[in-house]
Amino acid sequence: MSKILVAEDNLPNRELMREILESRGHEVIEACDGQEALDKLEQTSPDLVLLDIQMPVLDGYAVLKRIRSNARFASLRVLAVTAFAMQGNREQVLAAGFDGYLSKPIDISLLTKELQGFLE
């Protein structure tokens, strides 16, 4: 299947996403802060990134900006996973250059549906 980088500073959230993704046959690479996400990206070249917005060291927006400025990863699909679920947050995230948006807590069926759309 696909190689997916999960960048999430909250361990229970990261473990949940890993379990969901691995149960569907995906290989999961984990990062617990923005800088580690960039390091893992360079080392592993994933097919998709699930990127938390609020992380230490570098937030999701800063990570996305660096991803988009790197020709090697400029077209990589990056899905925002965030607790920001107020009206207008989805539009703000998409306007920043993310390819998709998932709010927390993670809805397993919605995550599965989004993955199918991005990985086909």
pLDDT score at 91: 86
Read off the pTM.
0.92
Mean of the per-residue pLDDT values of the chain: 92
- Rounded to 10 deg, the angle between the 60-69 and 34-44 helix axes is 30
Task: Say whether pLDDT at 88 is over 80.
Answer: no
Residue 99 sits in a domain of what CATH number? 3.40.50.2300
Q: How far apart are the C-alpha atoms of 53 and 76, rounded to whole Å? A: 17
- pLDDT-derived band at 6, boundaries 50, 70, 90: very high
Number of separate domains in the chain: 1
Distances (CA, A) of 82 to 1, 20, 55, 60, 70: 25, 17, 10, 9, 23
Whole domain around residue 34: which residue ranges? 3-119
Tokens 């995906």 -> residue: 26
User: DSSP strand E in the chain: where?
Assistant: 3-7, 27-31, 48-52, 77-82, 100-103
Does pLDDT of 44 surpass 90? yes
